[in-house]
Structure 1
Amino acid sequence: MFPIDDDNPTLITPFVTYGLVAINILVFLYELSFSEQGLTQFFYQWAVVPLQLTGEFTGQTYPALRGGEPPEVLTLITAQFLHGGFLHLAGNMLFLWIFGNNVEDQLGHFKFLFFYLACGVLASLTQWYFSQGSQLPSLGASGAIAGVMGAYIIRFPNVSVRTVIPIGIFPFFTRIPAYFYLGIWFFQQALYSFATLAPRTNVGMENGGVAYWAHAGGFVFGAVLGPVLGLFSRRSAA
């Protein structure tokens, strides 16, 4: 299922949402300028490498994986603007475009930006907690966007989301309540997350390249942090 739009108009222009989409696209275009080897080094430098983050938190020294600055803790922010391919980028930006504007409308521009980045950091820390010895870089806006979706489902549970469901080669268009659409998405991420705890799983960041714990963690933190920042209060003045 892929979201197309919703029936929830906004009262403000979502400048932050548009800006985040633009920055992610620009960074991806910059990534295209690298050779395969250069891009790998770039990811190790600017994405979250759990083993290196573990070393920074515990004061232990591990073999150099990143090749230089910045400090690993800073990658909790920078990793949110990196993507491993066009489909990775396109999927994330679609969800941010659909759901981000309404959450920004409720929180206001500055609170929404803080909320977005905080969800991304907390999502990455969730993934790190369950993969502290991993040497694979973790990157993407998925955790932050999962936070946006978590806030959306509790603030607009009954809003109808127009959705396309591929049936073979034919697209089927329908409308699904947000709580149902996003609830299914969260259930899938949670299920895959717990599956990665099994010793011989074929999914998860180590084997399948997907940080499911970051998705599930971001969703939960978004649902919690959104109301704390005023998701249910009057629209904030931006």
Structure 2
Amino acid sequence: MFPLYDDNPTRITPYFTYGLIGMNVLIFLHELSLSNEQLNLFFNQYAVVPQELTTNLAGEWTTLFTSQFLHGGWWHLISNMVFLWVFGNNIEDRLGHFKYLIFYLACGALAAACQWFIGMSSTIPSLGASGAISGVLGAYLIRFPHARVTTLLFLGFFVTTISIPAMILIGVFFVQNVISGLVSLQAAANMSVETGGVAYWAHIGGFVFGMILAPLFGLFKRDY
């Protein structure tokens, strides 16, 4: 299932959601311009390398934020940006532009910290916007539990669209990550985009922190 749009109108233009998408795309295009050696150096400098964060927190903490704008491939980028496009606009609408940006970055940093905690000695860079976007999904779930999302459904070679409750789509995402995270817990230190793994605990952490932080940022207030 691939979300297309939801049924919740917004009162403001989600400039920061558009801006975040634009920044992610531009940085990924920069990644494509690099050689393999340059790309590895780029990831080592701006992605979260757990071992380096463990031994040099004062010098590496900024990677908790810069890593949110890096991606390991086209599908990694496109899937993240589609979810941000569909669900981010309503959360930005409810929080307001600047609080939304702080919320987004905070969820991403805390999500990366969760993944770091699972594998503190790993030398494999951890990167991607998935943790921050998981925070957005967590906020969306508690704010719009009855919303419906029009979704692409692939049935072999046949493709159609269906409208399903957002709660089901986001709930499946969360449960799948919890199960996968528990199953792969012993190999957590080896999770990364580069090795074909997925940072499940970053997804789970971002989702939970999104549900916790969003009300504190005014998710349920109509005026800001």
Bucket of the pairwise TM-score, normalised by the shorter protein: over 0.9
Cα distance in 1, alignment partners of residues 70 and 101 from structure 2: 17
Matched AA of 1:93 = M
Corresponding residue number in structure 1 for 2:173 = 185
**Correspondence for 1:74 among 55, 62, 79:** 62
Is the partner of 2:139 in helix, strand or coil? helix
Alpha-carbon contact 1:193-1:204 (below 8 Å) kept: no
CA contact (8 A) 1:205 1:212 kept: no
Q: CA deviation at 1:96?
A: 0.4
Deviations 1:144-185 (A, max 9, x none): 000000000000011010011111011131111111110010
Q: Give 1:205's aligned amino acid.
A: S
Instruction: For residue 185 of structure 2, give the secondary structure of its aligned residue in structure 1.
Output: coil
Q: Is the 8 A contact 1:146 1:216 kept in 2?
A: yes
Tell me, yes or no, if structure 1 residue 100 matches structure 2 residue 88. yes
Q: Identify which of 117, 134, 141 aligns with 1:146.
A: 134
Q: Give TM-score, length-normalised by structure 2.
A: 0.95
* Aligned 1:125-164 pairs, distance under 5 A: 125-164=113-152
Matches of residues 44-59 of structure 1 in structure 2 within 5 Å? 44-57=44-57
SS in 1 for 2:207: helix
Separation (CA, whole Å) in 2 of partners of 1:123 and 1:181 = 20
Q: Which amino acid counterpart does residue 111 of structure 1 have in structure 2?
A: K
Residue-by-residue CA offset, 1:91-129 (whole Å, 9 max, x unaligned): 110000000000000000000000000000000000001
Q: For residue 143 of structure 1, give the secondary structure of its aligned residue in structure 2.
A: helix
Q: Distance in 2 between matches of 1:83 and 1:128?
A: 17
CA distance in 2, matches of 1:161, 1:134: 38
TM-score (norm. length: structure 1): 0.90
Percent identity of paired positions between Structure 1 and Structure 2: 55
Matched, 1:194 2:178: no
Per-residue displacement from partner, 1:27-70 (whole Å, max 9, x unpaired)?
Answer: 1111111001110111011100001011124x9xxxxxxxxxxx
Is residue 85 of structure 1 aligned with residue 76 of structure 2?
A: no
1:123 equivalent in alignment to 2:103: no
Residues 127, 192 of structure 2: 8 Å contact kept: no
Cα 1:235–1:192 shift into 2, 3 Å: farther
Note the C-alpha offset of 1:142: 0.4
Alpha-carbon separation, structure 2, partners of 1:29 and 1:208: 21
Indicate the structure with greater helix content. 2
List 4+ stretches of structure 1 deviating above 4 A: none
Q: Match of 1:30, SS?
A: helix
Q: Confirm or deny: 8 A CA contact 1:192 1:204 kept in the other structure.
A: no
Number of residue pairs aligned between Structure 1 and Structure 2: 222
CA RMSD, 1 decimal: 1.6
Deviates more, 1:137-146 or 1:164-173: 164-173
Separation in 2, partners of 1:170, 1:156:
30
Gaps in structure 1 of 5+ consecutive residues: 60-70
Question: Unpaired segments of 5 or more residues in structure 2?
Answer: none
